[in-house]
Amino acid sequence: MPLMLTAGHRKFWAGALHLAVLAVFVVLLAFPFYWMLIATFKQNIDLYNTDNNPFIFNLKPTLDHLKLLLFETGYVRWLGNTALVGAIVVFITLVLALPAAYALARLTGRWGQRIGIAIFLTYLVPPTLLFIPLSRVVAVLGLQDTIWSLVLVYPSFTVPFSIWLLMGFFKSIPSELEDAAMVDGLTHFQAFYKLVVPISTSGILTVVIFTFTLVTQEFVYALTFISPESQQMVGVGIPIFLVRGDVYFWGSLMAACLITSLPIALLYNTFLDRFIAGFTVGAIK
Amino acid sequence: MAVENRRLGAAMFLPAVAYIVLLIGAPFVLAVMYAFSDARIGTVGFHFVGLENFRSILQSPSFRAALRNSVVFTIGAQVIVIVCSTILSIALEKPFRGRGFVRFLILLPWVVPISLGAIGWKWILDSIYSVITWVLVWLHIFKPYNAPMWLGEPHLAMASVILVHSWRLIPFSTVIMLAGLTAIPKDIPEAAAIDGAGFWRKLFQIDVPMMLPIISVAVLFGTIFTFTDMTVVYILTAGGPFDSTQVLPSLAFATGIQGSDLAAGAAISLFLVPVLALIAYFMLRAAYRAEVA
């Protein structure tokens, strides 16, 4: 008798396949974070014994790695550096990108969109092309080995993308709003900062989160411009300076990765859809 | 009024443009000048030396290895990323319970700093304590003493950096494709289902062709992010063993910054430009089409 698949069977197998695909991808993509979690709390003699099953705690969990990380390494200092650079870069980005995006969305007509695309394309010029000349610029300006080198350079990639995101945002605001304000006697620029900026909180918030996460994720410039341990950002400090000579402190290293990553991931996840919209403009109607 | 608007407009966007020109345009010009010069770390001036840098890097075996590896790294990662993210985006499109949480887990590799994700993999691929090795030994596929050194053997090291980079990019491509999938008009797949097209036929004759524009967006960005990246390679292997995973950006760093030879480093990084220009061309074409349509 030939094998007959009824509609019910087919539905069952489609569901099973769907579940299997999701399960495989979740395991492959999220496994390293589970692995960081395990290593964070494992005692060294458990961690470094290949006879033990590595997936479980063979000995009692410990807080030693966290203590070492927080009290005996530069980690807390690096967090502070990163937060400071992030805050200043966010400020510079908003000051430059808000007016520029508004101008390109509203005031410059057909050319606005084209200039916007040109600006967006500069976001694609990678750090690995510019870090060599910039390392000398930074040295000539006397900013080498300080976080100010990053404060200067990071807006060069946060501003283009933010302009692009905000242009889309401003276009979605009806222009009758400013027209009415200008009839009431405000100049166009006053209408922009008294009316448009205050109602753009969600667009601004997207730029703030996006800029801040980009600052935490950057690696090449931070690695190139800064050598002293005390001036590091988390993204470089953890992988480079938690290694002494050839000795990796894996427990503390994984703890640092995990507790740095999770807040960034949560923030980014909340704003992801708007961020992706920036990449897909034009391809999706 | 129009003139006034244009003046105000220019005043509002020129500061941002000036910043971009000074920190992207000017360094780019400098990079080109350095490539034809003898600039080194520790000095300020430089002299032009013509094509000397290009002549010497083209003869260097490290450079040839890096060029070849960059192509393998980029194409290898793109193929894996596109196949996986097409499958994953189709699986994620259907609503199901807990989709928000599953999406969060799947996105982790993209949203956390790549240097931290890479160091996590360095632990997973460790020469002695690798969990993958442990499982293979436990399954009796390898003996403990002849287990593979994931980052210590040329081909395995290359496969490792490609897979780790793909791991990082799959979530990014997946969400781009999800955005594209949601934009596909629902009546066409439904009509196909009524006409009796099965799952596979519907997939290859309707879904994938309709996804092509968005797949190309994912490929363009993915190619840039892969071809110009040095973080994964730098952290996992630093280009080794024996330059077997050295790519153009990591070689530019090793030569220009660690080796103090700014000129040669700049010349190496200029080899990124043709690919970037090609991708910019395709993006402009897509943007132009969107404007005309």
The tens digit of pLDDT for each residue in B88-124 reads 998 888 888 888 889 889 989 998 899 999 999 998 9
Name residue, tokens 């439904």: B190
Q: What is the pLDDT of residues B190-248, one digit of tens each?
A: 676 667 767 777 777 777 788 888 888 889 999 999 999 999 999 999 887 888 999 99
Largest CA-CA distance found in chain B, in angstroms, rounded: 80
The beta strand positions in A106-250, using DSSP E, are: 243-244, 247-248
pLDDT value at residue A4:
57
Q: Residue B180, by phi and psi: left (phi above 0), alpha (psi -120 to 50) or beta?
A: alpha
Residues of chain A with C-beta less than 8 angstroms from the C-beta of B216 = 283
Is a pLDDT exceeding 90 seen at residue B252?
A: yes
Asked if residue A160 lies in contact with residue A186, where contact means CB atoms within 8 angstroms, the answer is no
Q: Which residues of B touch A11 (CB under 8 A)?
A: none
Per the CB < 8 Å rule, is B17 touching A100?
yes
B135/A221: higher pLDDT: A221
Residue B292 pLDDT exceeds 70: no
Least confident of A202-206, B8-12, B44-48, B244-248: B44-48
Residue type, B180: G
Asked if the structure places residue A3 within a domain, the reply is no
- Residue A121 tokens read as 């394309």
Q: Please determine, for residue B26, whether its predicted confidence score (pLDDT) is greater than 60.
A: yes
In a domain? residue A239: no
Q: Do A220 and B87 touch (CB under 8 A)?
A: no
- The answer to the question of residue A144 being in a domain is yes
CA dihedral in degrees (A186, A188, A192, A194; nearest 10)? -10
Low-confidence ranges of chain A (pLDDT < 70): 1-6, 245, 278, 280-285
- Residues 217-236, chain B: which have Cβ within 8 Å of A? 217, 221, 224, 228-231, 234-235
SS (H, E, C) B184-249: CCCHHHHHHHHCCCCHHHHHHHHHHHHHHHHHHHHHHHHHHHHHCCCHHHHHHCCCCCCCCCCCHH
Residue of A nearest to B285 (CA): A282
Distance from CA of B158 to the nearest CA of A (A): 19
Would you call A8 exposed, middle or buried from its count of C-beta atoms within 10 A (0-12, 13-18, 19+)? exposed
- Best of A40, A132, A233, A269 to disrupt the B interface by mutation (most B CBs within 10 Å)? A132
Would you say B93 and B178 are in contact if contact means Cβ atoms under 8 Å apart? yes
Q: Yes or no: say if B156 and B162 are a contact pair by the CB < 8 Å rule.
A: no
Q: Give me the residues of B, 139-198, that contact A with CB < 8 A.
A: 144, 167, 170-171, 175-176, 179-180, 183
Q: Indicate whether A107 belongs to any domain.
A: yes
Closest-CA distance, A225 to chain B, in angstroms, reads 10
Phi/psi-derived region of residue B196, left when phi > 0, alpha when psi is between -120 and 50, beta in every other case: left
Distance CA B204, CA B211 (A): 10
- For residue B15 the two structure tokens come to 């500061």
Q: How far apart are CA B272 and CA B108, in angstroms?
A: 28
Q: What is the pLDDT of residue A284?
A: 47
DSSP string across chain B: -HHHHHHHHHHHHHHHHHHHIIIIIHHHHHHHHHHTB---TT-S---B-TTHHHHHHHH-HHHHHHHHHHHHHHHHHHHHHHHHHHHHHHHHHS--TTHHHHHHHHHHHHHS-HHHHHHHHHHHT-TTT-HHHHHHHHTTSS-GGG---TTTSHHHHHHHHHHHHHHHHHHHHHHHHHHHHHHS-THHHHHHHHTT--HHHHIIIIIHHHHHHHHHHHHHHHHHHHHT--HHHHHHTTT-STTTT--HHHHHHIIIIIT--HHHHHHHHGGGHHHHHHHHHHHHHHHHHHHH-
> Residue A19 phi/psi, 5° resolution?
-65, -45
> Which residues of chain A does B102 touch, with a Cβ-Cβ cutoff of 8 Å?
22, 26
Q: What are phi and psi of B48, to 5 degrees?
A: -80, 135
**Chain A neighbors of B221, CB-CB under 8 A:** 279
pLDDT digits (tens, 9 = 90+) for A114-163: 888 888 888 888 999 999 999 999 998 999 899 999 999 999 999 998 99
Distance from CA of B175 to the nearest CA of A (A): 7
Q: Are B152 and B60 in contact (CB under 8 A)?
A: no
Residue of A99, A248, A268 lying closest to B111 (CB–CB): A268
Q: In the numeric block, which tokens belong to residue B225?
A: 């992010």
Question: Does A141 fall in a domain?
Answer: yes
Question: What is the pLDDT at residue B128?
Answer: 80
The total of structural domains in chain A comes to 1
Asked if B214 lies within 8 A of A283 by C-beta distance, the reply is yes
CATH superfamily of B60-119+154-292: MetI-like (1.10.3720.10)
Task: Report the alpha-carbon distance of residue B214 to residue A6 in Å, rounded.
Answer: 35
CA angle A26, B112, A248 (to 5 degrees): 100
CA of B261 vs chain A CAs: smallest distance (Å): 10
What percent of chain B is modeled with pLDDT above 70? 94
Q: Which residues of A touch B147 (CB under 8 A)?
A: none
Whether A108 sits inside 8 A of B6 (CB atoms) is yes
Rounded to the nearest angstrom, the gap between the alpha carbon of residue B2 and the centroid of all alpha carbons in its chain is 43
Token pair recorded at residue A90: 């966010």
Chain B nearest C-alpha distance from A22 (Å): 7
Residues on chain A touching B100 (C-beta within 8 angstroms): none
Q: Let me know if residue A120 belongs to a domain.
A: yes
Is the link from the previous residue into B274 a cis peptide, with omega within 30 of 0? Answer: no
Q: How far is A26 from chain B (nearest CA, A)?
A: 6
Query: In this structure, are residues B174 and B218 in contact, taking their beta carbons and an 8 Å threshold?
Result: no
User: How far off is chain B from A44, nearest CA to CA, in Å?
Assistant: 12
Residue with tokens 């550096």: A81
ipTM value of the model? Answer: 0.88
B269 touches chain A (CB under 8 A): yes
Structural domain that includes position A122? 80-231+273-280
Domain-located, residue A217: yes
The helix or strand, by DSSP H or E, that contains position A158, with its residue range, turns out to be helix A155-171
In chain B, which residue's Cα lies nearest the Cα of A163? B16
Q: Is residue A29 part of a domain?
A: no
Measure B117 CA to nearest chain A CA, in Å.
7
> Over chain B, what is the mean pLDDT?
87
Task: Tell me the chain A residues in contact with residue B28 when contact means C-beta distances shorter than 8 Å.
Answer: 125, 129-130, 133
Q: Residue B128 carries which side chain, given as an amino acid letter? A: I
CATH assignment at residue A84: 1.10.3720.10
The model carries a pTM of 0.89
Angle at A239 between CA B133 and CA B261, to 5 degrees: 110
Q: Which of B111, B199, B221 has its CB closest to that of A265?
A: B111
- Smallest Cβ–Cβ distance between A132 and the set B235, B262, B291 belongs to B262
Q: Does A155 sit within 8 Å of B23, measured CB to CB?
A: yes
| Maximum distance among all Cα pairs of chain A, rounded to whole angstroms | 85
- Residue B274: CB atoms within 10 A of its CB come to 9
Q: What is the rounded CA–CA span in Å between residue A234 and residue A259?
A: 11
Query: Is the pLDDT higher at A185 or at B258?
Result: B258
Number of neighbours of residue B65 by Cβ within 10 angstroms: 18
Residue B165 has pLDDT above 90, yes or no: yes
Q: What is the DSSP letter of A248?
A: E
Q: What are the residues whose beta carbons fall under 8 Å from the beta carbon of A133, sequence distance 6 or more?
A: B27, B28, B30, B31, B34, B262, B266
Q: What is the pLDDT of residue A5?
A: 60
